[in-house]
Chains A and B, each alone.
Chain A
Amino acid sequence: MNLDDSIRWIWCALLTQRLRSLLTLLGVAIGISAVSLMSALGEGVRHYVLAEFTQFGSHLLAITPGKTETFGIGAMLNTVRPLSLADAQSLSRLNGVEQVIPVVFGTAAIKNDNLSRHSNVAGVGPAAHSVWRLKLAQGRFLPEDDLDNARPFAVLGSTLKQQLFRDRPALGKNIHIGSVRFLVIGVLAPKGQFMGTDLDDTAYIPVARGLKLFNRESLMEIDLVYRPGISANLIRSRVTQHLIARHGLEDFTLITQDEVLKSLDEILQMLKYAGASLGLISLLVGGVGILTIMLITTRERAHEIGLLRALGCSAAQIRYLFLGEALLLALAGCLLGLCITAILLLLSSWLLPGLPLLLPAQMVLLALGVSTLIGLLAGVKPASDAAAMNPIEALRQLE
């Protein structure tokens, strides 16, 4: 029996029991589509979140005051060793540093005539325009004034402009932030939320004015863009040495964009695999389904096996035939499952265009690999049962 014949034999065997084969591979197909949909969902979320973070460019380094292991809240607290505007200015002269944005964040009441709104206020340097990829709808962004002595200009987020001015023009008008007067010189295009802060409901003012407004000495963060081509480690050690020389000790925390992305990516990858493994339970049940059906099949077809053996088929050949049948069931189930997934993904791209669901190519390969494995594992016992049958006994079993 050559390979060609074997394949035709298996194919016929599956076709004669059409309903049975269909139901068996349907089980595998549901399992495969559960796995691949979950991983597509995970991959979609991963891409979405990473895109959120990389929108600010990749050669970024953030410096926050205070050296503490308590992740993330250091910037909000007081500190005995402030990170000052002078620190930011001196960093901009460092070799390899392209742009520096000193940042202070807070909330304040913003008033225009009789309209008032409590919103976010961001005190930033002029470089925020290009580094944070802010798009202007009208006017211009904060000009390159002297950092210490910037003119009282403000740029409004789109929501904030709408709330304060409705449809009237905002450019050239005076607003009050807190009790200080600012001249509106620009309005931003809608940008959306980032990390729970609505960037559209934010007023951007010069950082020195922000520090004065909030009566703070310390910046909350210094964002630093370094020249592409310099390694993150090199710039990290340069900044560390520079600030230690200024402060006397390491009382600040550095985090590079790469590190943020790497740790985020790790978490999201884990979530993706956790989701896929939830689907794996169904696939496992589908695999047990193949095993059960194949066990029944070998018993039913004892007569046929006896005949094959009598005609000179070796036990090994019988084993391969039944293994092949299990394998074919699993692979067909896998293909059906992938088709179902593809259809559902197409549907979701129509219904939910916001969240791009992606099925990575390696997941398709992995699905094929896993179902091959499942087919083989489920086929081992039935195939060896079939191979171990005594041909005479099997032939006699004619009901």
Chain B
Amino acid sequence: MRFSDQLRFNSQVLARQRWRTVLLLLTISLGVASVVVLTSVGEGARRYVNSEFSALGKHILIVLPGKTETLGGAPPLYGTSPRDLTLEDANALAQISNIGRVAPIIAGTARVSHGSVAREVITLGTTPDFFAVRKLTIGLGKSLPASAVDTASATVVLGAKLKHELIGNRNPLNQWLRIGDRRYRIIGVLEQRGESLGLDMRDMAIIPIRSAEQLFNSAGLFRILLELKQIDQLDASKQQILDRIRLRHEGEDDVTLISQDSMLSSFDNVLTTLTASVGAIAAISLLVAGILIMNISLISVSQRQREIGLLKALGAPASLVRSLFLTEALMLTGSGALIGTTCAELMIMIALQLLPNFPFYAPVWAELGAISMAVGCGLLFSWWPANRAAGLDPILALRGATGGSHQ
């Protein structure tokens, strides 16, 4: 029997038992589709986080005041320490050759009011470099003046949402508003941009760093964002930063450095593990489908024993009978896996239409894994029934009298 004959033989068998075939295809495609769809959600989440981080840029290093030596703990995000990190520290770090832009940040909450409208929002004090480092673009007016590096001035740049809530649709430029108990002139409005890493830039007011020192009556920086010129010198630069801080802080490097890489890779690990385990749980359904295939194959071996007896009487060797049953399982699981993957891709396409911001994407390893798991289950679970068919005694089988037959 040629291979093409085997295929035709099997398709006839499958077509004859339409219901059975359809249900088996349903179970396999259900399993494969759920693996692919679920992993695509996990992979989408991973890509989303990745793009959020890379929006910040790979060259960014964050300096927090304070440090702990606790092993494996979270960095001390509250950033309070006896010795403040100051604008002077930031300027000293700017001297390091591999450091390009430096954006020191003072952050605080304050009541921002215009006329009778008031909102309690986060106010950032920073330098003009901040806009370049965070890739913020000005939608209207201009950015902080170049003098804001070291001089206080009563100027403010508003986030798009905050501008809308305070001023409405009127022209905001050169209007005065009040932050805390001081007055500031609006010189620019940020272009609309979403939330990034938990900070909603649309709902913020940005003032020169020296003004923020006055407003909050504190010289302590919340963070310093550093932009490295060459990423491959990351470790050397980190060391230089710590040395410089130690020089200025009486022999103590009491700061914590966070690079995008370290944050990104820990997020990446967590999300990849999560995706893989969700996929694995969904893949249990393929195991169940495999058991069903075994059950059905056993039934069909006993139902078709006359046919098997005839084949053997005509001279078919045991190996041919075995390969007939195995190819049948292979055809079933293979096409089931294909249908499942196609359905999953369709669902992902629909999901992408509905939620365009979330990058659903079925990773290739998940698709290949699901397909090979389905086919592997099919082969594994039909091995025993196929062997049983191959081992049938032709004469008894022709008579329909071997064990395992139905009564």
Proximity string of chain A (93-121) to chain B, C-beta cutoff 8 Å, 1 when within and 0 when not: 00000000000111111000000011110
B220 touches A215 (CB 8 A): yes
Q: Are A296 and B299 neighbours in the complex by a CB distance under 8 Å?
A: yes
- Distance in angstroms from A377 CB to nearest chain B CB is 13
Bound complex: CA of A16 vs CA of B289, how far in Å? Answer: 23
Instruction: Say yes or no for A34: interface residue by CB 8 A criterion.
Output: yes
Q: Mark A225-264, 1 if CB is under 8 A from B, else 0.
A: 0000000000000000000000001010000000000000
Contact B69 A119 (CB under 8 A): yes
**Residues B285 and A284 in contact, CB atoms below 8 Å apart:** yes
CB distance from A11 to the nearest CB of B (A): 16
Q: Least Cβ distance of B279 to chain A in Å?
A: 10
From residue 65 to 89 of chain A, which have CB atoms closer than 8 A to chain B? 65-68, 70, 73-81
B407 located at the interface, meaning its Cβ lies under 8 Å from any Cβ of chain A in the complex: yes
B284-306 Cβ-contact flags toward A at 8 Å (1 or 0):
11011101101110110001000
A15 at the interface (CB under 8 A from B): no
- Complex-state Cα separation, A30 to B281, whole angstroms: 11
Interface residues of B in 71-113 (CB under 8 A from A): 73-74, 76-84, 106-111
A220 and B78 contact, Cβ closer than 8 Å, known pairs A16-B407, A281-B30:
yes
Chain B residue at minimum C-beta to C-beta distance from A289: B292
Q: By the criterion CB–CB under 8 Å, are B70 and A20 in contact?
A: no
- Decide: B23 and A292 in contact? CB cutoff 8 A: yes
Which residue on A lies nearest to B83, using beta carbons?
A: A178
What per-residue 1/0 map shows which CB atoms of B176-219 lie under 8 Å from chain A? 00011100000000000000001110010000000000011110
Q: Are A76 and B79 in contact (CB under 8 A)?
A: yes
Contact pattern, A 119-132, Cβ under 8 Å of B = 1, otherwise 0: 11000000000000
| Interface check B222, CB cutoff 8 A | yes
**A15, B294: Cα distance in complex, Å:** 19
Interface residues of A, count at CB 8 A = 70
* Least CB separation from B73: chain A residue: A198
Q: Which of A259-278 contact B (CB under 8 A)?
A: 275, 278
Q: By the criterion CB–CB under 8 Å, are B27 and A288 in contact?
A: yes
A197–B82 contact, CB under 8 A?
no
Expressed in whole angstroms, the Cα–Cα distance for A34 and B70 within the complex equals: 38
Contact with A along B240-255 (1 / 0, CB 8 A): 0000000000001010
Decide if B109 touches A104 in the complex (CB within 8 Å): no
B81-A68 in contact (CB<8A): no
Residue from B20, B38, B83, B288 having most chain A Cβ neighbours under 10 A = B288
Closest residue of chain B to A293, judged by CB? B295
Q: Are the CB atoms of B181 and A80 closer together than 8 Å?
A: yes
What B residues does A19 contact at CB under 8 A? 298
Which of chain A's residues have a CB closer than 8 A to the CB of B107?
77-78
Check A34/B284 contact, CB under 8 A, given A68-B120, A285-B30: yes
**Of listed B215, B220, B291, residue having the most chain A CB within 10 A:** B291
Shortest distance from the beta carbon of B46 to any chain A beta carbon, whole Å: 17
Given contacts A30-B291, A278-B38, contact A288 B26 (CB under 8 A): yes
Q: Are B73 and A201 in contact (CB under 8 A)?
A: yes
A24 to B288, CA, bound (A): 9
Please give the distance in Å from B264's CB to the nearest CB on chain A.
18
Residue in chain B with minimal CB distance to A34: B284
Q: Tell me if B295 and A119 are in contact (CB < 8 A).
A: no
Given that A77-B107, A214-B80, A288-B26 are known contacts, is A278 also in contact with B278, CB under 8 Å in the complex?
A: yes
Task: Determine whether B371 belongs to the interface, using a CB cutoff of 8 Å to chain A.
Answer: no
CB distance from B363 to the nearest CB of A (A): 18
Contact indicator B282/A24 (Cβ below 8 Å): no
Contacts A77-B122, A80-B180 given; does A70 touch B82 at CB 8 Å = no
Complex Cα spacing A197 to B282, Å: 35
A77 touches B69 (CB 8 A): no
Q: Name the contact of B30 in the complex, choosing from A68, A278, A284 (C-beta under 8 A).
A: A284
User: Complex formed: what's the CA distance from A357 to B92 in Å?
Assistant: 53
Once the chains are docked, how many angstroms separate the CA of A80 from the CA of B281? Answer: 51
Is A300 part of the contact surface with B, judged by Cβ < 8 Å? yes
Residues of A within 8 A of B34 (CB): 281
Cross-chain contact A27 with B76 (CB below 8 angstroms): no
Query: In whole angstroms, what is the CA distance A77 to B106 when docked?
Result: 8
B24 & A107 in contact (Cβ 8 Å cutoff): no
A288 CA to B288 CA, complexed, in Å: 10
Residues of B within 8 A of A65 (CB): 109
Which B residues, 35 to 75, have Cβ-Cβ distances below 8 Å to chain A? 38, 66-70, 73-74
Judge whether B291 and A66 touch: CB under 8 Å.
Answer: no
Q: Check B68 against A282 for contact (C-beta < 8 Å).
A: no
A318 to B54, alpha carbons, bound, how many Å?
66
B284 touches A282 (CB 8 A): yes
Interface flag for B16 (CB, 8 Å): no
- Residues from chain B with a CB closer than 8 A to the CB of A177 are 82
* A106 x B81 contact (CB < 8 A): yes
Query: Is A54 positioned at the interface, with any CB of B under 8 Å from its CB?
Result: no
Determine how close the nearest CB of chain A comes to the CB of B35; give it in whole angstroms.
Answer: 9
Asked if A279 is an interface residue, CB under 8 A from chain B, the answer is yes
Tell me whether A312 is interfacial, beta carbon within 8 Å.
no
A30 and B252 within 8 A (CB): no
A133 contacts partner chain B, Cβ-Cβ < 8 Å: no
Residue of A163, A213, A278, A279 most packed against chain B (CB within 10 A): A278
What is the chain B residue whose CB lies nearest that of A64?
B109
Does A179 count as interface, using CB distance less than 8 angstroms? yes
Contacts of B68 in A (CB 8 A): 107, 118-120, 198, 201
If A108-B66, A197-B74, A285-B27 touch, whether A23 touches B295 (CB-CB below 8 Å) is: yes
Chain A residues lying within 8 Å of B222, measured Cβ to Cβ, are 76-78
Contact of A282 among B23, B38, B288 (CB under 8 A): B288
Distance in angstroms between the alpha carbons of A77 and B218 in the assembled complex: 11
Q: Which residues of A contact B294 (CB under 8 A)?
A: 23
Q: Which residues of A contact B27 (CB under 8 A)?
A: 285, 288-289
The answer, yes or no, to whether B149 is at the interface (CB within 8 Å) is no
Q: Which of B20, B31, B298 contacts A281 (CB 8 A)?
A: B31
CB-based contact A77/B299 at 8 Å: no
**Does A26 reach chain B (CB closer than 8 Å)?**
yes
A-B contact pairs, 15 of them (CB 8 A): A23-B292, A78-B106, A79-B109, A105-B80, A106-B81, A109-B252, A109-B254, A118-B66, A118-B254, A220-B80, A251-B120, A285-B285, A286-B288, A291-B23, A295-B19
A-B residue pairs, 7 tightest by C-beta: A78-B108, A106-B80, A66-B109, A178-B82, A196-B74, A107-B66, A80-B180
Q: Which residues of B contact A (CB under 8 A)?
A: 19-20, 23-24, 26-27, 30-31, 34, 38, 66-70, 73-74, 76-84, 106-111, 120-122, 179-181, 198-200, 203, 215-218, 220, 222, 252, 254, 278, 281-282, 284-285, 287-289, 291-292, 294-296, 298-299, 303, 406-407
- Known A68-B109, A288-B26; 10 more pairs at CB < 8 Å: A80-B216, A104-B80, A106-B76, A106-B80, A107-B254, A108-B254, A201-B69, A201-B70, A278-B282, A284-B285
Chain A: residues with CB nearer than 8 A to chain B? 16-17, 19-20, 23-24, 26-27, 30-31, 34, 38, 65-68, 70, 73-81, 104-109, 117-120, 159, 163, 177-179, 193, 196-198, 201, 213-217, 220, 249, 251, 275, 278-279, 281-282, 284-286, 288-289, 291-293, 295-296, 300
